[in-house]
Structure 1
Amino acid sequence: MKKMIVRGGQKLSGEVTIGGAKNSTVALIPAAILADTPVKFDSVPAILDVRNLMLILNSMNVPSTFNHGELQLDPTHIKNVPLPGGAIKSLRASYYFMGALLGKFGEAVVGFPGGDNIGPRPIDQHIKGFRALGAKVVEKNDAVHITTGAGGLHGARIFFDIVSVGATINVLLAAVKAQGTTVIENAAKEPEIVDLATFLNNMGAQIRGAGTDVIRIKGVPTLKATNTHTIIPDRIEAGTYLAFAAANGEGVLVKNVITEHLEPFIAKLVEMGVYLEVNEDSVYVAGGHELTPVTVKTAPFPGFATDLQQPITPLLMKAKGDSTIIDTLYPERIKHISEMKRMGGLISSKDGVITVQHSTQLKGTTVKASEIRAGVALLGLALMSEGTTTIINAENILRGYERIVEKLRGLSVNIEIAED
């Protein structure tokens, strides 16, 4: 177990460069096993989720190497084996191996996914999609068993009952080698889905409509990687540093940002009164803002991302008045609240609405990072607090934020990692 020790009361200044998108990476790596050639990615974030995915690849006889942001893997001698419980349980995105293995072999046995506990995240829409493609899905012995008949997978028209990023990606992975054409309606539109479709299309897939609510996939017999795929910048990491800089900075430049992916978040900062200079691929945050309270309501892309609901919370405590947060996607994403109260944060939750009040008596203490975004929200509050904050279970933060300690040190933050 790791702990993060943060000495508060310091102003952030300088530059920080955003890495590759975690939520793209955890879909792209399972997608790579569909290739009939070695695959190479760059701008891969150095996070624990990547290491866990590499362990899963190794169990399938898919060797991989990861150095300086470049990940290479070779699925040409892949073996279809039941996937291990340990690494599968460590991250929810491991369920993308369901769609990838189904597309590759016509069958898959995958343990139920783990990851952050932020409330119910059922996989019923994934299963609905697999069955529409001709698969038989059985849940037994804490695993999902997916098989197809002699005819394999076939194209189908699938309408999701709810917008689901995971289900959209999983069905896309299964359909990319299916016979015929698959149409996914009410599809998720996140940039990470576009990134995945770009990768697959560059290998010979025929996917149209990624980024809209209707995606059409014409199955192809083979996929071959000929170029290195560069992963898009992480919009959640970018938003997190923008929130840190707005709350406790005196001039921070956030680089390698696709600002179009952050429009709802940037608009909310402007509404609060944060002074920003939005450039082509960077955002400069000046200090010394007088902030006004706002209402944040999460929604599927292009709305305000649920993953930025917690990271913006410390900033809301600087506003002169009461702000509210309504997470329409994960209303139980509130594990940070009790910990923030222990630091003096004036925050509460009732009937699915989080109320954040102006908080001036913030003091460092020992708190627990229960999951990625809750942990980084506590880190943001620690930067604003008087004294020292110790965040235990810090490996949860490291799962989603590349080299966060080094990046914060580059912004003049006194922070270190130690074994708990």
Structure 2
Amino acid sequence: MDRIAITGGARLQGEIPISGAKNSAIKLMAASLLTEDTLRLTNMPRLADTRFLGKLLQRLGTEVVESEGEDGPETLLRTREIVSAIAPYDLVRQMRASFNVLGPLVARTGQAKVSLPGGCTIGARPVDLHLKVLETLGARIDLHEGYVYAQAPRGLSGAHIDFPFVSVGATEHAMLAAVLADGETTITNAACEPEMIDLANCLNAMGAKVSGAGTSAIRIQGVGRLHGATYAVMPDRIETGTYAVAAAMAGGEVRLTRTRSDFIQALIDKMVEAGVEVTPHNDGLTVRRNGALLKAVEVETGVYPGFATDLQAQFMALMTLADGESVIKENIFENRFMHAPELSRLGADISVQGGEARVRGVASLEGAQVMATDLRASVSLVIAGLAAHGETMVNRVYHLDRGFERLEEKLGACGANIRRIKGDGEGGED
């Protein structure tokens, strides 16, 4: 399998364009199942995860065509008819988010058989809320031999969905299922992430009637059918935050373009508190650190607009070189400190107890062999390697390819000494 080698010490200088958001793109792709017309998605990221979902959609009957348009990479999706309402384990296991085809399949055809996604390296992440959403909308749910059998032969019906806790995936799934339900659906305690707004805007462009996305109360008036549309995927806020931290870690000045700084305000606040200069501008932000000593700060992950759990590993890497002790509390996922032992191999001083990590800053990091354990953890090791003395070799980088497009190219264009080493071997799944 591929590896990435980084020789640390080079300051970053230049511009990095941010790609379309992975976490949004895969849900917008699933929305294409809701119509027989063509959904054209622009600003599409080219990632392992979008390719995985594309294969699953093709199995279900979707024509998937990737091309380069006037505005960059785009994907055309058209599902004239659902040729199969079965999403098999061998495809669903490769990416948890593919489970979200369940709602659109039931909404359009009245039935579906979708594999349970299985375990995840960063925690249990059960799909109970997803199933309760469909039951609330009138579907009959049966579990058998690792598959979910959902049936609503007379269609779904609008209902009130009140989540016991905020769930991004379940909120998106509710929106995808309810747009074709008969009557009105209200969702309370909904997730407020920008991706909710992106999905709602895309669905509305297709003829849905969704209001309130981005707040804790979403209202959906079901419609009889959706039509095709052209829609631009929002910029990836996690990629934005990742490169912002990378620039702070390596030092120098990097301008991040084709994105929005307000998507990562919680991160920016902590970076400024740590002594990093961050300047927002119309199409993104500029990050500067020219020799200033990093200061240790405390971070606690939370639902949006709180500090994103998907940026916790990256920020931990930054804090390994901060003056003093920083405390990082993880409130979203269990088992999401698996990058800590790998950072310690580079010389970091980190102790973990339960959902809390204490990071005592060190004078320097030293390059070493490290292993990626999940998507965000893997990129934290790349970030640490940018500042480590000598060479850092990150193994199992198929995790990186799930969520970061042309990472070596983007960092290399800003002066990073980074290269991919091609290799044979098995891939993996999350």
TM-score (normalizing by structure 2): 0.95
What SS does structure 2 have at the residue aligned with 1:309? helix
**Counterpart in the other structure of 2:122:** 118
Q: Residue 143 of structure 1: CA displacement?
A: 1.4
Q: Residue 115 of structure 1: CA displacement?
A: 7.8
What SS does structure 2 have at the residue aligned with 1:367? strand
**Counterpart in the other structure of 1:46:** 46
Q: Say whether 1:411 aligns with 2:411.
A: no
Describe the superposition over 1:153-206 as per-residue Cα deviations: whole angstroms up to 9, x where unpaired. 111111001100000011111111010101111000110111000000011101
Structure 1 residue aligned with 2:219, among 216, 222, 227? Answer: 216
Distance across 2 between alignment mates of 1:161 and 1:242: 34
**Counterpart in the other structure of 1:277:** 279
Describe the superposition over 1:91-142 as per-residue Cα deviations: whole angstroms up to 9, x where unpaired. 1111110111121112111112258510121111111111111111112111
Structure 2 residue aligned with 1:242, among 238, 244, 249? Answer: 244
- Return the letter of the residue paired with 2:174: V
Q: Say whether 1:302 aligns with 2:305.
A: yes
What SS does structure 2 have at the residue aligned with 1:312? helix
Note if contact 1:372-1:397 (Cα within 8 Å) is conserved in structure 2: yes
Note if contact 1:18-1:255 (Cα within 8 Å) is conserved in structure 2: yes
**Counterpart in the other structure of 2:21:** 21
**Counterpart in the other structure of 1:72:** 76
Percentage of matched positions with identical amino acids: 38
**Counterpart in the other structure of 1:374:** 377
What SS does structure 1 have at the residue aligned with 2:102? helix
What SS does structure 2 have at the residue aligned with 1:286? strand
Structure 2 residue aligned with 1:180, among 179, 183, 186? Answer: 183
Note if contact 1:90-1:115 (Cα within 8 Å) is conserved in structure 2: no
Note if contact 1:59-1:84 (Cα within 8 Å) is conserved in structure 2: no
Distance across 1 between alignment mates of 2:175 and 2:349: 43
RMSD: 1.3
Note if contact 2:59-2:84 (Cα within 8 Å) is conserved in structure 1: no
- Return the letter of the residue paired with 1:32: S
Note if contact 2:42-2:74 (Cα within 8 Å) is conserved in structure 1: yes
**Counterpart in the other structure of 2:330:** 327
Note if contact 1:137-1:146 (Cα within 8 Å) is conserved in structure 2: yes
Map 1:255-294 to 2 at 5 A.
Answer: 255-288=257-290, 289-294=292-297
What SS does structure 2 have at the residue aligned with 1:109? strand
Q: Residue 362 of structure 1: CA displacement?
A: 1.4
Q: Residue 260 of structure 1: CA displacement?
A: 1.6
Distance 1:145 1:300, change over 3 A: same
Describe the superposition over 1:231-282 as per-residue Cα deviations: whole angstroms up to 9, x where unpaired. 1100000000000101112111111121121111111111111111111222
Note if contact 1:116-1:372 (Cα within 8 Å) is conserved in structure 2: no
- Return the letter of the residue paired with 1:96: N
Q: Structure 1: any 5+ residue segments left out of the alignment?
A: none
**Counterpart in the other structure of 1:336:** 339
Q: Structure 2: any 5+ residue segments left out of the alignment?
A: 424-430
Note if contact 2:36-2:81 (Cα within 8 Å) is conserved in structure 1: no
What SS does structure 2 have at the residue aligned with 1:399? helix
Distance across 2 between alignment mates of 1:44 and 1:394: 21
Number of residue pairs matched by the alignment: 418
Runs of 4+ in 1 over 3 A off after TM superposition: none
Note if contact 1:155-1:182 (Cα within 8 Å) is conserved in structure 2: yes
**Counterpart in the other structure of 1:390:** 393
Describe the superposition over 1:36-68 as per-residue Cα deviations: whole angstroms up to 9, x where unpaired. 201110111111111111110111121211123
Worse-matched range after superposition: 284-293 or 382-391: 284-293
Worse-matched range after superposition: 107-116 or 170-179: 107-116
Q: Residue 317 of structure 1: CA displacement?
A: 1.5
Distance across 1 between alignment mates of 2:102 and 2:148: 8
**Counterpart in the other structure of 2:136:** 132
